[in-house]
A and B are shown apart, each in its own frame.
Chain A
Amino acid sequence: MTIRIGVCATGTRRFLALIALAMLSAGAGAAGTLAGTDIANTASVSYELDGNPVTQDSNTVTISVAEILDVTVVLVSPQQSVSPGDTAQALVFTVTNTGNGQESFTFSVDNALAGDDFDPIAANPNIYFDSDASGDFSAADTPYVPGSGDPDLAPDAAITLIVVNDIPTGLANGDRGTSALTAVAATGSGAPGTLFAGAGAGGVDAVAGASGATATATGEYLVSDVALVLNKAALVLDPFGGDQPVPGATIRYTVTAEVTGTGTAVAVAVEDQIPANTSYVPGSLSLNAAGLSDAADGDAGVYEAAPTPLVRVTLGDLVAADGVQTITFEVLID
């Protein structure tokens, strides 16, 4: 997230962590030869008999490709920072049909997992399709209805599902709760190699693949009081050795950012507009006493002259242990 701060603003603000979403793309053709494909083979022989060439064919043997039932479930969301009593907290998953036939999948959520501190409370409904392809939970997303609404996925096709839970009250800071999404092939699941005779796409035999035709991924909530504290100070240096804000004087701004509490502040960026009637001093931007170039390049800092002159420093994911981040830059009073 980007924190915008005004000139000389000082304060503490509670902030919300944003979900950074990565779009996953399935590898093309990874599932292999399609179920139901017939592969016919006819050998031929040529030879000479009394000097005359002869060619003959063998019988034709045909193998039919059975359906292999395989699926992957991948958690897309990072750990979700939540507060006790929060509602509709989303976890995003990608489900991919890694088999070689058109297949329906059914989904279920398990919140009663061992190894965590609390069980998230399933919302009702608690599984949604990412209908608007936004990659997060939004109003346009439609609920998944088990049975009648099982999505039918082509080989290699993927679908994004969103698991929605409420967070119980009365939790302590730092408590973790987990929630797992499981996908199962509608044709059947079982140990790899389990046969479902005639049950595959188009009536071919189906065989459970390496995944056992089912897969699970687990997402995590963390009760977090993470907060970002921003402070800003200004030091004026006039051309006469004093501290008067007169034309020609330089103002050196020092902005500090510090994360407090438990959890991770995700993708923190600090952005500060250059005040009116002042000009940014080129090359004056620094982070933790290390100079940053003004150009948008590999380092964390950038100065943008247009549309609104500003400096921006990208701090990334921060935790309390990272300590105080100090940004400085200078402007010249016009």
Chain B
Amino acid sequence: MNRALTLLAAVLSLSLAAPALAQEGKIELKSVVEKEVRVVNDAGEEVVQLVTADKVVPGDVVIYTVTYTNVADQAVDNVVITNPINDALSYVVDSAFAPGADVSFSVDGGASFDVLDALTIERDGTSIAAGVDDLTHIRWILREPLDPGAQGFARFRARLN
């Protein structure tokens, strides 16, 4: 009896720990956040490992990875993936990565996008180049339609302010 209860409790906690399911649709979209840690391996070399970002402190670098899979039975066109960049995070320059996609950024809450170097913000009445702290969203546009069953990922790094 006690064992059965324990097992039930274990099943319950497992289901609670599982991430919220992605919304139903023709593209399965999944977001993961990890943290970079520097560890010394058996050969005495310092290597960077990705671990679950359960605890982060200011200065830590986290990596957001969005994976996408076409679960429909036909190709989908004009695939655009957008990810917000929280105020507490600073985008790490040149860290955006997504094979087969073009990356752009927004400084106005996602209303408009451009490449990082072309973005400006208004400060004290003058227009200045946008910095990594000014970015509100990152966007990837897939260059080709996504075939049935095809998958890919988009990734960027950010530092906790």
1/0 per residue, CB under 8 A from B, across A73-84: the answer is 000000000000
Q: Are B27 and A56 in contact (CB under 8 A)?
A: yes
Nearest A residue (CB) for B37: A193
Nearest A residue (CB) for B77: A48
Asked, given contacts A39-B88, A63-B53, A65-B56, whether A45 binds B68 with beta carbons under 8 Å apart, the answer is: yes
A297-317 residues at the B interface, CB under 8 angstroms: none
Q: Are A58 and B30 in contact (CB under 8 A)?
A: yes
Q: Are B57 and A61 in contact (CB under 8 A)?
A: no
A48 and B51 alpha carbons, distance in the complex (Å): 35
Q: Taking the nearest CB of chain B, how far is it from the CB of A260, in angstroms? A: 53
Q: Are A100 and B33 in contact (CB under 8 A)?
A: no
Q: Are A49 and B26 in contact (CB under 8 A)?
A: yes
B26-55 residues at the A interface, CB under 8 angstroms: 26-27, 29-33, 53-55
Interface residue from B79, B82, B160 paired with A65 (Cβ < 8 Å) = B160
Tell me if A318 counts as interface (CB < 8 A to partner B). Answer: no
B33 partner residues in chain A, CB cutoff 8 A? 41, 61, 63
Asked, given contacts A45-B27, A47-B77, A54-B25, whether A59 binds B57 with beta carbons under 8 Å apart, the answer is: no
- Size of interface on B: residues with Cβ below 8 Å to A: 41
Q: Are B72 and A42 in contact (CB under 8 A)?
A: no
B80 partner residues in chain A, CB cutoff 8 A? 45-47
Q: Are A39 and B57 in contact (CB under 8 A)?
A: no
- Size of interface on A: residues with Cβ below 8 Å to B: 34
B53 partner residues in chain A, CB cutoff 8 A? 63
Asked, given contacts A48-B77, A48-B78, whether A66 binds B26 with beta carbons under 8 Å apart, the answer is: no
Tell me if A44 counts as interface (CB < 8 A to partner B). Answer: yes
A45 partner residues in chain B, CB cutoff 8 A? 27, 29, 68, 79-82
Q: Are A207 and B55 in contact (CB under 8 A)?
A: yes
Interface residue from A37, A58, A66, A195 paired with B88 (Cβ < 8 Å) = A37
Q: Are B56 and A63 in contact (CB under 8 A)?
A: yes
Tell me if A125 counts as interface (CB < 8 A to partner B). Answer: no
A49 and B54 alpha carbons, distance in the complex (Å): 37
A39 and B84 alpha carbons, distance in the complex (Å): 11
Tell me if A209 counts as interface (CB < 8 A to partner B). Answer: yes
Tell me if A64 counts as interface (CB < 8 A to partner B). Answer: yes
Q: Are B66 and A58 in contact (CB under 8 A)?
A: yes
Tell me if A180 counts as interface (CB < 8 A to partner B). Answer: no
Tell me if A265 counts as interface (CB < 8 A to partner B). Answer: no
Q: Are B74 and A63 in contact (CB under 8 A)?
A: no
1/0 per residue, CB under 8 A from A, across B63-92: the answer is 010101000101011111111101011000
A32 and B87 alpha carbons, distance in the complex (Å): 11
Asked, given contacts A42-B31, A56-B23, A56-B29, whether A68 binds B79 with beta carbons under 8 Å apart, the answer is: no
Tell me if A22 counts as interface (CB < 8 A to partner B). Answer: no
Tell me if A322 counts as interface (CB < 8 A to partner B). Answer: no
Asked, given contacts A56-B29, A57-B23, whether A43 binds B54 with beta carbons under 8 Å apart, the answer is: no
A148 partner residues in chain B, CB cutoff 8 A? none
Q: Are A64 and B54 in contact (CB under 8 A)?
A: yes
1/0 per residue, CB under 8 A from B, across A132-169: the answer is 00000000000000000000000000000000000000
1/0 per residue, CB under 8 A from A, across B127-161: the answer is 00000000000000000001000000000000011
List 29 A–B pairs whose Cβ atoms lie within 8 Å, in order of A's numbering: A39-B89, A41-B64, A42-B31, A43-B64, A43-B81, A44-B82, A44-B83, A45-B29, A47-B78, A47-B79, A48-B77, A50-B74, A54-B25, A54-B76, A56-B22, A56-B27, A57-B22, A57-B29, A58-B22, A58-B31, A59-B20, A61-B33, A61-B64, A63-B62, A64-B54, A65-B57, A65-B160, A207-B55, A207-B57
